Structure 1
């Protein structure tokens, strides 16, 4: 049994070990990372290095577009909460996040019609720059997201095995992969301004099952909070993804898998902007995680219990215990982007903002 001493670094796992005779070693390392850390680096994965390099090259080029071109893609245009957000447009833990971003998703035609659950309107098409403004951007980003999605399916099976479950025990929550809309962001964190907040994004959890983060540039900034409340650096390592557990997976595994609070500090003065691309694995909108019971072997339960209480600077997505996953995600989007909600979901906007548009809003 692994030690329950709070982690002081994020483990690095070699994905290639899972494909051969050293798979038992990989699963043992993965079990420790999932139960005791909630974060890991994944090296030698299946997303082509050439595709990753193309994505890295395109990332700053998007943010270098004229502001008027980016504003044409503003999120308020989209009932799916997909599109561009200007610098300092979001709040986490009561402070402004110093980041500029565009939210995009895998290709998906919105199937919502009158009378359907309102949360099914959340999934739909992304907004993209004109091809003449950024040739090839849409094609490369779409190929990249599809490639990460394929990796995420296989990795979820490995997580199941590492926890003593059947390989498809967690895949059931994804239903038909062709009917999923995975989301993500392309993010720019500008260099710190003297005397201003260092909060790139404040302490938070991710909501779903798995996040795969590509750290595009070399600047540090990502930090992970261990159970003692200490902040541990997760600085970029070339050729890796940072993978972390979301609150949805923690909920359905009855806390066997650990969702870990994390934050990003703005890059230091003189270091240049930091770019990153998180990919958020989608699960079926129509599952209520509390309706499912997974039977874990006793040793997995013992490891969970030995971990003890956590003391973290963040909050809990408790709605997963009562609501459909699609509604949980829609509520999070509404709280984070009330301008979009006011335009496209007026009834829900009135419910969560009875006093009108807030001066400060927060998804967390």
Structure 2
């Protein structure tokens, strides 16, 4: 039984009974509804099991996913007609239409539908796309292993020793193993446990196979469905398939099928290497998942009716430019069966996006609530109380900064903020000057806020625990030893906490941009951001130059890659430019009422202040490096490290703080400030 779903939706029509499992994504994103259709002799668990979960792959990107148990599978009655394929197509269309209109977030944002099918499910997906043209907003269709043929596929037992049975079981012999799974060395044998096999596979339905092999169905597919599809098609097969033994043997058949898609505006076709018909269980399954994900992201980006496309401000996305921020589930790390799925999702996020949401973070709700309440209470204190801990009093750049005092991208930020950190003593007089970046906090008057320090330190402690786990998780996602990054941190480590208030700009007009914080990349290892209020405003820039919103999702943190991690990994992990845009409409709810000021709270995971480029010695596997499609990203990362962190990170970070907080620098580091401003003016910073 597939396990990743929020709602089981039954459907009965024309004598057919079946159901779909709906896993809800992020409603605010209104991304396309993904519909999955499994093949014959398999179940919906084919797309959702402990080996691979296509459901989770798309859901973590924010999509609603509908995984359909077709009639006769998952405990539903076996169809008794001789044409269950043709009979099911109009019923599936009705069902998908109902779910889209009544359940899917995509309906409210013109997000559309994308169909994904395997084997017979591919035939259904292609047929539905053709038959529902003009009725359903289908953006595209991806089919794997759907190869219409009138050749005897040798699936049904011959002779049929149980003619009265509606079901069949494929004989478990070497020939069938190769046709369905590929060569033994291609298969993830250790993962194919009895539990997985029992969940994923069921006796097939004889009438489906018989109908699929008829001349009538073959002609229908090749002469009506294939040429009649008017949307982009992804058409895939495996090196070893049911009707061929090798790519050389299968290529003429495959090319003939591909040539039939005469009406599709774009056809992506490929025979994937070193895998069988059930490619999801090959060691190379990552190729299939990557192709599907890219196909879906491209369709999403090109959907002119979608809010995702509207948000990219006129830019045209390309295949390498992400169009949404994925959602990862930290709870998956607690189980061996799901940890691999998390690491795969994390790898994609840190290599291709640089940002991701994290849910089930392990931070208790009561800790987070107390932290938010006390943080907002701090901003609500009278100005004179806040000025008691003004940052200018601290050579460690900790304390209060008034509205507009911080500078980013040479412009003043429209925000008020407090900086805190892991409590550490001040450095000794003989230590390097940049060691002043570590030191004790300035705490507000305990009589004014008696619960403040406890709430802040408890939240920071829990985030530090989470951040510590990500040192090893990021390493494992890159196929490195879990302790590969520990050498780059100080012990004890000081993480920085920034409490930020963005008041509504007084003179702003609808559609007018106001800089809350200018475009920048964080200098740390990872940033853990809590968006404390429902305002939009945080935006990330993809490789096409488009700005995409990072809409607050309750119960999540936003995590992003910093320049230090980008440099340590030679650009394999990408630090993504982001900003906070304070448009007037970002301060209004759905009814046009004011939301008040925007609050957000960021924890920056710092690396060792002594770290320099010469100390980086991480040997990332070549196939992981090859995931970075744009080589310029790597060289940019190295240049960033060498320019911003000349000598070591401590020196570069001190200069960055000096240029951002010039009032503090004027008091404590006047000579360095003068040099830094001159370098900035001359274009060296």
TM-score by length of 1: 0.91
Does the Cα contact within 8 Å between 2:362 and 2:466 map onto a contact in 1?
A: yes
Counterpart for residue 500 of structure 2:
187
Aligned with 1:22: secondary structure?
helix
- Does residue 1:129 correspond to 2:129, yes or no? no
- Does residue 1:259 correspond to 2:575, yes or no? yes
Q: What is the distance in 1 between the residues matched to 2:527 and 2:444? A: 25
- Does residue 1:150 correspond to 2:474, yes or no? no
Q: What is the distance in 2 between the residues matched to 1:174 and 1:122? A: 15
Q: Aligned-pair distance for 1:317? A: 5.4
Q: What is the distance in 1 between the residues matched to 2:372 and 2:400? A: 18
Q: What is the distance in 1 between the residues matched to 2:320 and 2:395? A: 45
Counterpart for residue 33 of structure 1:
349
Work out which of the two has the higher radius of gyration on C-alpha atoms and give 1 or 2: 2
Q: Aligned-pair distance for 1:242? A: 0.3
Aligned with 2:623: secondary structure?
helix
Q: What is the distance in 2 between the residues matched to 1:84 and 1:334? A: 15
Structure 1 residues 223-234: aligned runs within 5 Å: 223-234=539-550
Go from structure 1 to structure 2 and tell me whether the alpha carbon gap of 1:317 and 1:91 turns closer, same or farther (over 3 Å shift): farther
Counterpart for residue 199 of structure 1:
515
Aligned with 2:501: secondary structure?
strand
Counterpart for residue 92 of structure 1:
408
Write the deviation string for residues 131-176 of structure 1: whole angstroms up to 9, x where unpaired: 1111110111011112111110101210100011110101221142
Q: Aligned-pair distance for 1:57? A: 1.3
- Does residue 1:278 correspond to 2:602, yes or no? yes
- Does residue 1:347 correspond to 2:663, yes or no? no
Structure 1 residues 2-81: aligned runs within 5 Å: 2=290, 3=294, 5-20=320-335, 21-81=337-397
Q: Aligned-pair distance for 1:316? A: 4.3
Write the deviation string for residues 189-217 of structure 1: whole angstroms up to 9, x where unpaired: 01132337521111100001000001001
Write the deviation string for residues 55-75 of structure 1: whole angstroms up to 9, x where unpaired: 111222111100111111111
User: Which piece of structure 1 moves more, 29-38 or 58-67?
Assistant: 58-67
Does the Cα contact within 8 Å between 1:7 and 1:226 map onto a contact in 2?
A: yes
Q: 1:268 aligns with which of 575, 587, 595?
A: 587
Write the deviation string for residues 221-264 of structure 1: whole angstroms up to 9, x where unpaired: 11111011101111111111100000011011000000000001
Does the Cα contact within 8 Å between 2:330 and 2:360 map onto a contact in 1?
A: yes
Write the deviation string for residues 66-89 of structure 1: whole angstroms up to 9, x where unpaired: 011111111110000001011111
Q: What is the distance in 2 between the residues matched to 1:152 and 1:93? A: 28
Does the Cα contact within 8 Å between 1:222 and 1:262 map onto a contact in 2?
A: yes
Q: What is the distance in 2 between the residues matched to 1:49 and 1:268? A: 25
Counterpart for residue 134 of structure 2:
none
Q: What is the distance in 2 between the residues matched to 1:231 and 1:101? A: 24
TM-score by length of 2: 0.49
Q: Aligned-pair distance for 1:318? A: 4.2
Q: Aligned-pair distance for 1:19? A: 1.4
Higher helix share: 2
Q: Aligned-pair distance for 1:320? A: 5.1
Q: What is the distance in 2 between the residues matched to 1:296 and 1:200? A: 37
